[in-house]
Amino acid sequence: MQTFDLGAQGLRALNSALHALKGQTNMTEWEVINPKGSHAIAAGVDAALDITVRGSTGYYCAGMNKLATIRIKGSAGPGVAENMMSGSVIIDGDASQYAGATGRGGLLVIKGNASSRCGISMKGIEIVVHGNIGHMSAFMAQSGTMVVLGDAGDALGDSLYEARLFVRGSVKSLGADCIEKEMRPEHLALLADLLKRGEADTKAKPSEFRRYGSARTLYSFNIDNASSY
């Protein structure tokens, strides 16, 4: 276990050390202490590391993550796991706005609540939120899956494409072109797997969720739908 005191050694030194670890390395377990809300902690990691951040973080923590498992023992600021490629990011607390934005792969788990625009423009990432999500979440989501055990705010899935959205609680309103869809056996199986990997399988059952997706009326411009664009 490599222990890194961010307060004493600084962010640049931490990220430089993590970026240098590519390919074969035995320095796979890292503990970051005294984060004190610093920004861009463990951003751009490109190795199969296990990183634990002991405290809350600022914006863009774990951004562009590839292969690593990053655990935040606190809450996360805006843009956590932004543009994540693979690996996993697990947040014990809450996440601020646009968590998992543009994420292309991997798993983001938020054990508290997520603010507005969670999963905006997601492109393949899987997101499991144990609590609630704010307004405009999954806006223009293109692919991937979002699972919400709590409630969703206004304009869920506005202008989304082929992302799959599952919400256990209430939805304040659906965005343009987002509709409720039939829950089929394959969706129940998908949910069961995600709830297990998202450490939420003891909190909810797949049968308690509703599925939302694209009505596919905004794929191409149509004058009859002009007011919806």
Confidence of residue 25 (pLDDT cuts 50, 70, 90): confident
Q: Over pLDDT 90: what percentage of the chain?
A: 90
pTM surpassing 0.85? yes
pLDDT digits 0-9 by tens, 121-145: 999 999 999 999 999 999 999 999 9
Given a cut of 80, whether residue 216 has pLDDT beyond it is: yes
141-179 as b/e: b if 16+ CB within 10 A: bbebbbbbbbbbbebbbbbbbebbbbbbbebeebbbbbe
Given a cut of 70, whether residue 212 has pLDDT beyond it is: yes
- 67: alpha, beta or left? (left if phi > 0; alpha if psi -120 to 50): left
Confidence of residue 27 (pLDDT cuts 50, 70, 90): confident
